[in-house]
Structure 1
Amino acid sequence: MKPQRHADHVRGREITRPRVTGTVAGAVAVTGLSVLAAAAAAGVVLVGAVARKVVVPARDRPSESRILRLDRDAGTIELVATPDTVVPGRYGSWVAKRAAYVQLGDIIETTEASVVRTLLGGDVDSLRVGQDSEFSGWFFRRPEELGLPHIDVEISTELGPAPAWVVHPEDGPSTKWAVLVHGRGTTRSEALRAVPTFRAAGYSCLLVSYRNDGDAPPTPDFRYSLGDEEWRDVDAAIAFSREQGATDVVLMGWSMGGAIVLQASRRTSHPELIRAVALDSPVIDWVDVLQHQARENRIPGLVGRVALLAISRSWGRLLTGQATSIDLTRLDYVANAADLTLPILLMHSDDDGYVPAGPSRALAKARPDIVTFVPFDVARHTKLWNYDPERWSAAVADWLDGLEGFTTP
C-alpha cells in the first residue's frame, strides 16, 4: 500500500500517513462490534449469576471457619476466628457439610487468628481437626433438646403438606398461638430458641416450614420469592391454628422470615386473628440488603442494579428461572410504613453483617406508635438470643405482656 501525502507538517517536515482502505476500516468496525457484543454477553451472564444467587435456594451454606484443635477430655474446641465465632454466647456449629452438629458455649481464649470455646454437646465424637465449621445461631435442632413435649403435624398448603411442630404451654392447648417462621437458608429449628419464652407467656407455638426450605414442598421453579409468595404457607399455618382453637395469633420471623410474616400480616385471609408481629434481624427493605451484599462481594454497582431489575421484571425471568417476578416495592416496609397497623416488636443488631439495621431503625422512627425497637450492637445476624438470651427473652416477654393494652391506631 503506497503512502498518501497530506498537508500535515511537524517542525516543517512533511509527514505521510497510510491509506485506510474500506476493507481495513470494515474489519476494524466488525472487530469493535464483536468486542462490544462479547462484553455485553459477559455482562448478561454476570447479571444472571448475581440475580440467581438471590432467588435460588443454596444447597450448601459456606463454612467460614475451620476446626484447628480439639480437646475432648477438656471439652474445648479451637476454631478459626471470624466476626461470628468470636462473639460471646451459646451457638451451634455444623461440620463436614452438615453431617454433624455440636453446641458451643463460653469463650475461653481468643487470639487474632483463633478462638477457643467450650463444647456443650452434640455430635462431639464426629469432630475432626481440619473440618470446616459453619457457625449457627440455631443451638437447638429438635424440640426434644428443650425437654418439652411436642407434636409433629402437617400444614395443608397449596403445594402440599408442609411439616411443622406444635409445642403447647404447660397447661395444655391455648387460644393464643405464636406462628414462628425461620429465615432464608435455614429450617424451623432456628425458631426453637423462642419457644420457652412464648410458652411461658401462655402461647401454643407452631414452628412452620415453607416452600423451598428443604422440608416443605418446593415450587416448580424452585425459586425464593423473598416473602412475596412464601406468606401463603404462613397463612395456611394461621388457618391451621384457627382449626386448633386459636383466637389470637402472634407472628414471629427471623431474617427473610420477617419479610414473610410482614406480608402475611398484610395479605392474610384471617386478619381478625393476627394480634401482633415480632421480628428478629428482619429484612425490612430487600433493595437495601441486596445493595449491601453487592458491595460486600465487590460486585460492580451497575451489575447489582440490573440484577435487582432482573428479579423484579418479567424480562428477567429468562435469566433467573423465576415463574413470577418479585414485587420489591411491596416488600419495602419503610416505604409502606403507613400501611402497617399491628404492634411490632423489632430487634436488630447494628453489626448484623448480613442484613443492615438501617431500615429497621428507619421503620421504628417512622412508626413509633406501633414499633417497639430493641437494638443490639454486637450480636450479629439472627444471633441476638445466642448473645444475650436473658435480654432477648425479657424483651419478648415484656412486649407480649404489653399487647393487652394496645389499641390499633
Structure 2
Amino acid sequence: MVTPRRAATRGASPSLMAGIRAALVTLSLALTGVLTVMGFLSVRIARTIVTPAARRTDTKILDLDTAAQTITLAKTPDTVLPGRYGLFTTGTASYVKLGSVLGENDSTVKRKLLTHVAPSSQLSSEAAFSGWYYAQPEELHLPFTPELIGSSVGPCPAWLFPSSEPSETWVIQIHGRGTNRQECLRAVPLFHAAGITSLVVSYRNDGEAPRSRTGTYALGATEWRDVDAAIGFARRRGARRIILMGWSMGGAIALQVALNSAHRDLIAGLVLESPVVDWRIVLDYQAKLLRIPHTVADLAIGALKSEWATPLTRTGSPIPFDRLDVVARADELRHPILILHSDDDGFVPSDASHDLVVRRPDLVELQVFEVARHTKLWNYDQERWSASIRSWLQRHDLTATGAAADS
C-alpha cells in the first residue's frame, strides 16, 4: 500500500524534483560559503588581536602655521581633547608636542604647537595623535640609567630613575599594547617627587624587548614573567616595596604579576591607568565599534582560547581568558589597587573596572574620569590625575617622608 505522502512524491514531475535538488545543493553551497567566510574572518581577527602592529595614522595635518606656531588637524574624538598631547608624523620632525585647542569647526581643530617648528619644516599630512607627551627620557631632566633586565626570552631594556635619596620603595612602570616605554614617562616625575625610584620596563614582543618564539602577544598571560624578572632585578638592587603601575594592557600584565609572582611579598600595591581587567569585555566592545558580527567575534575568541586553532592564530598556545578575567578572580587579590579610568575611554571600556570595585571594595579604589580618552587622563587633567595617585600613596604610607608634590 502506498501512503499519500509517497504517492505525492512519486507523482511529482522529474523537473520539479530536479529543481528541488538543485535548490538544496545551492543552499548547501551558500551555507558552506558563509561559514567559510565567517571562519576566515574570525581567524584574521584573532591574529590581529595578538599580533604586534606598527603605529597607525589616525588624523591628518591640514595646515601648519610656523609664524603663529599653530597646527590644524582633522577633527577626531582625540584631537579635540583639551590638554597637552603629542603628534607622530614624518618629515623634518618625527614627533611634536601639542598644547591647547585654539579653535574648531565640524571637521578641523587648531592647536598650539609646544614644539618649535621652523619655517623650512616639512611634515607629512599623515599623523598619529598621542598621549605620550614625553618622547624621550632626557626630556624629564631627571638622572636615569639604561638597564637590561634578564628574562626567559632574553635581556629586556629598561630605564632606571633613582630617587633623590636612597629608597626601598620602587615603582615598576608597564606600558600597553602596541606602544613602548615612552608611554610611562608621564608618571615618573610624580613618583620621583614622592621619593620613589622608577623602573620603566619593556616586555617580550613590544619592539624593544626580545621576540618570543611566536612573536605574538599573550595579552598578559606570558608577558607578566618579564615584569616579574624586573621585580627580581629591583629586589637585588635593594627594593623592599614594589608598586606596579600598568597602562592599558600593562594593567592586565600588572594584575597577572600580582596574582602569580613569586615576589608577591614585595608588592605593596598597584596603580592602573585605563586598564584591561577582562579581555572579553574589551574585545566585545571593539567588535561592536568595528561592526563585526557578534558570531564572528565569538568565533575569534573561541579560536584564541582553543588548542586546535593555535596553528591558525599563531599564538603557540591558547590564550587563557578565564585566568585573565580578574573580576572573576577578585577573591585572589591581596594588594591595594588604585584604578584611574574614564567612562569615555573609547577603547577599553570602564565596565570591568567598575565591576572590580564592586567585588573588592576593601582593596580597590576607582577614580572615574569623563571626557578623557584612553590612557590620556594625565594629558586631560594632570592636576586631578596626580592628586589621586599622590593621595593614594600617602594613605598607604608609600611616599618618602617630606616628599614634595610633583610640578
CA offsets, 1:286-323, max 9 Å, x none? 00000000000000010001111111111221321110
Query: Which protein, 1 or 2, shows the higher relative CO under an 8 Å CA cutoff with sep ≥ 6?
Result: 2
Counterpart-to-counterpart distance in 1, 2:43 and 2:281: 19
Number of paired residues? Answer: 390
Helix, strand or coil at the partner of 1:360: helix
Counterpart-to-counterpart distance in 1, 2:45 and 2:114: 38
Does 2:125 align with 1:93?
no
- Check whether the contact 1:90–1:106 (CA below 8 A) recurs between aligned residues: yes
Counterpart code for 1:55: V
**Partner residue, 1:204:** 197
Note closer, same or farther for the CA distance 1:294–1:175 as it changes in structure 2 (3 Å cut). same
**Partner residue, 1:330:** 323
Note closer, same or farther for the CA distance 1:169–1:362 as it changes in structure 2 (3 Å cut). same
**Partner residue, 1:13:** none
Counterpart code for 1:233: D
- Check whether the contact 2:93–2:123 (CA below 8 A) recurs between aligned residues: no
**Partner residue, 1:214:** 207
Superposed displacement of residue 125, structure 1: 7.0
- Check whether the contact 2:279–2:321 (CA below 8 A) recurs between aligned residues: yes
Does 2:152 align with 1:161?
no
Note closer, same or farther for the CA distance 1:124–1:379 as it changes in structure 2 (3 Å cut). farther
- Check whether the contact 1:95–1:127 (CA below 8 A) recurs between aligned residues: no
Superposed displacement of residue 130, structure 1: 5.7
Does 2:244 align with 1:236?
no
- Check whether the contact 1:212–1:224 (CA below 8 A) recurs between aligned residues: yes
Which stretch shows the higher mean deviation, 142-151 or 88-97? 88-97
Alignment of 1:7-406 (within 5 A): 18-20=13-15, 29-59=24-54, 61-96=55-90, 100-121=94-115, 128=122, 131-171=125-165, 173-404=166-397
Percent identity reads 46
Counterpart code for 2:77: P
**Partner residue, 2:3:** none
Counterpart code for 2:57: S
- Alignment root-mean-square deviation, CA: 2.2
Helix, strand or coil at the partner of 1:292: helix
Which stretch shows the higher mean deviation, 37-46 or 111-120? 37-46
Note closer, same or farther for the CA distance 1:186–1:99 as it changes in structure 2 (3 Å cut). farther
Q: Which runs of 5+ in 1 are unaligned?
A: 1-6, 9-15
Helix, strand or coil at the partner of 1:162: strand
Counterpart-to-counterpart distance in 1, 2:206 and 2:111: 30
Which stretch shows the higher mean deviation, 119-128 or 391-400? 119-128
CA offsets, 1:161-210, max 9 Å, x none? 01000001222x42110000000001010000000111111111000000
The TM-score, its normalising length taken from structure 2, stands at: 0.91
Note closer, same or farther for the CA distance 1:48–1:123 as it changes in structure 2 (3 Å cut). farther
Counterpart-to-counterpart distance in 2, 1:361 and 1:97: 43
- Specify which structure has the higher proportion of strand: 1
Helix, strand or coil at the partner of 2:37: helix
Which stretch shows the higher mean deviation, 317-326 or 192-201? 317-326
Superposed displacement of residue 40, structure 1: 2.0
Counterpart code for 1:270: H
Helix, strand or coil at the partner of 1:108: strand
Counterpart code for 1:57: P
